[in-house]
Structure 1
Amino acid sequence: MKIICAGFPKTGTKSMAKALRQLGYTVYDLEEHIDLHMDKFVDFMDGVTNSAELMAAYKDVDVCVDQPACTMWLTFFKHFPDAKVILMERESSDVWFNSYSKMFLYNIEKHRVWYQDLLPYLSRTHARFAKLCQQCFIRSTASRGIFWDKQPWSAECWKYQYEMHNAAVRHLVPEQQLLIFKTGEGWQRLCQFLDKPVPDAPFPRENVAGQTGNVMDQLQEFKTQTKINEEVRRSVIISGASIVAAIAVSAVILLRNKIW
């Protein structure tokens, strides 16, 4: 592990991931965390395993960014103490809260299904995914809940968590290993920090809130979501067949009783 991106979601994580890929690094972002190592994260967070097994999966990865890695940045840093740390920040905690909450509202409006509460019973993969999402939500907002549930949100709790997280990174990472990167800043200081030449291309601007193709839209195409959809379809078919079979058996029993 060469670089740990400790910035919270909606601090330019997708832009940073793309920028670091352009600089030649192997980057594990939200998609890789979920599709490749979701079970390892859940087992660690549930206390089934310690962090050693999870960190072993990242030893040959250059960069980690976004949830759940960003809120576990210190665990990564303890295992990879020579890594550089990039803390991406918004202009203020108010700006960050507005952007983060809008992302969840977009997901609720566009992607929440009417049978959402049944999904953990229809798909084992979704049940595991929901566990991980709840942990990520708690770690990034200091609030209970999950990002697809309609619920009251405490702006104070969310902003408190953001500010405490950033303060911890600033305090615990040695100055020579830390870059504080402001969203929209561009290539210059990043490339200087990493000792890389500045690319000719403009700095990426990804996952703009409210625009089609943002991370909540992309999530629907993850392999994990495809697996969830397949498990749900299978469960519905099995449940439907069971109900039909039960009705048929009941009808036969009633018919026999009438005949006899």
Structure 2
Amino acid sequence: MKIICAGLQKTGTKTIAEALRILGYNVHDVFEQFYHEKELWDKILNNTVTVKDYQRILENVDAMTDFPAIGVWEQIYEAFPDAKVILMVRSSEDEWVKSVLKQREVANEYLIIQNDLFRHFRMHFITGPLAFAFHKIETAFTIASLGVPRMHGKPLPEAFLRSRYRQHNSYVKSICPKEKLLIYNVKDGWEPLCKFLDKDVPEKSFPVVNVRGEMTRQVICNRWKYDCGFQKIVLKQTYIRVGILLSICVAFIAYLIHIFTSLVQ
């Protein structure tokens, strides 16, 4: 582990991930983390994780950003004390809160059912076990990082978000050695990032990713270019379950028609 991106969600996590990829780093963002390091998150939730687990499971990853990692960034730093830490921040607290609320708005466009009971039904019987496992980890680690269960569904309490943003940023600044920490706004582009990482500035323009929650649309529509296999498996499991449910419905309707026909005769 060379780089720990310690900025909360909606501080440019997708942009920094793309920038680090351009610089040649092996970056694990949300879906890569869940798909490849699920053992680690399960151990954390079961209180069985050790420093050696972090070191073993993450040894071939250069950089991590967003959740689940952001929920345990300091434990990752403890396991890899030579890593550099990038604390991404927004231009203002208001800008960050506005971005979080916009992310919720976009996500809710695709949530046909927002009731928790029906959401669990959908996870269990329609989208399948992988999506349900992701939902479980998403809830646990979003609470750990933002103090709210998820960035969609019910209205998010702004007071909680603001408090968490301040506390998190202050905590990162208080425990990271200054020479290991970059406080960084993605609007600042290549120069401060490359200087901190001792890298040459690429000829490529600095990336801008997930503007106004666009990644959510791409993931849900299966157009996210960094699908590591997670989306394909979820789609496959969904198609299988929808096929089974449709078969059951057709069989049940045929049975009802048979009963009705018998009664009429």
Report TM bin, short chain: 0.7 to 0.9
Matches within 5 A, 1:188-207: 188-207=191-210
Q: State the Cα distance separating 1:252 from its structure 2 match.
A: 7.8
Aligned match of 1:34: 34
Q: State the Cα distance separating 1:164 from its structure 2 match.
A: 0.9
Counterpart-to-counterpart distance in 2, 1:189 and 1:225 = 34
Aligned match of 1:233: 239
Q: Is the 8 A contact 1:119 1:126 kept in 2?
A: no
Counterpart-to-counterpart distance in 1, 2:239 and 2:201 = 48
Q: Is the 8 A contact 2:103 2:212 kept in 1?
A: yes
Q: Deviations over 1:145-201 (max 9, x none)?
A: x3342x121001011111111111101111111111123012222211111122233
Q: Is the 8 A contact 1:3 1:84 kept in 2?
A: yes
Counterpart-to-counterpart distance in 2, 1:100 and 1:118 = 27
Corresponding residue to 2:146 among 137, 141, 166: 141
Instruction: Report the TM-score when normalising by structure 2.
Output: 0.83
Asked if 1:43 is matched to 2:49, the reply is: no
Taking structure 1 as reference, are residues 217 and 258 closer, same or farther at Cα in structure 2, changes over 3 Å only? closer
Q: State the Cα distance separating 1:50 from its structure 2 match.
A: 0.9
Asked if 1:130 is matched to 2:129, the reply is: no
Counterpart-to-counterpart distance in 2, 1:200 and 1:251 = 68
Q: Is the 8 A contact 2:7 2:87 kept in 1?
A: yes
Taking structure 1 as reference, are residues 15 and 249 closer, same or farther at Cα in structure 2, changes over 3 Å only? closer
Aligned match of 2:2: 2
Matches within 5 A, 1:34-113: 34-37=34-37, 39-47=38-46, 49-51=48-50, 52-109=52-109, 111-113=110-112
Q: For structure 1, which segment, 225-234 or 188-197, has the greater mean C-alpha deviation from structure 2 after superposition?
A: 225-234
Gapped runs of 5+ residues in structure 2?
Answer: none
Counterpart-to-counterpart distance in 2, 1:155 and 1:176 = 33
Q: State the Cα distance separating 1:230 from its structure 2 match.
A: 2.2
Q: State the Cα distance separating 1:47 from its structure 2 match.
A: 0.7
Q: Is the 8 A contact 1:140 1:162 kept in 2?
A: no
Gapped runs of 5+ residues in structure 1?
Answer: none
Q: State the Cα distance separating 1:243 from its structure 2 match.
A: 5.0
> How many residues matched?
252
Secondary structure of the structure 1 residue equivalent to 2:8: coil
Instruction: Report the TM-score when normalising by structure 1.
Output: 0.85
C-alpha root-mean-square deviation of aligned residues, in Å? Answer: 2.7
Q: Is the 8 A contact 2:3 2:63 kept in 1?
A: yes
Counterpart-to-counterpart distance in 2, 1:182 and 1:192 = 14
Q: Is the 8 A contact 1:140 1:158 kept in 2?
A: no
Secondary structure of the structure 1 residue equivalent to 2:170: helix
Q: Deviations over 1:50-108 (max 9, x none)?
A: 15435422112111112211232111101101101010100222211110120121111
Q: Is the 8 A contact 2:87 2:183 kept in 1?
A: yes
Q: Is the 8 A contact 1:10 1:100 kept in 2?
A: yes
Q: State the Cα distance separating 1:11 from its structure 2 match.
A: 1.0
Q: Is the 8 A contact 1:40 1:54 kept in 2?
A: no
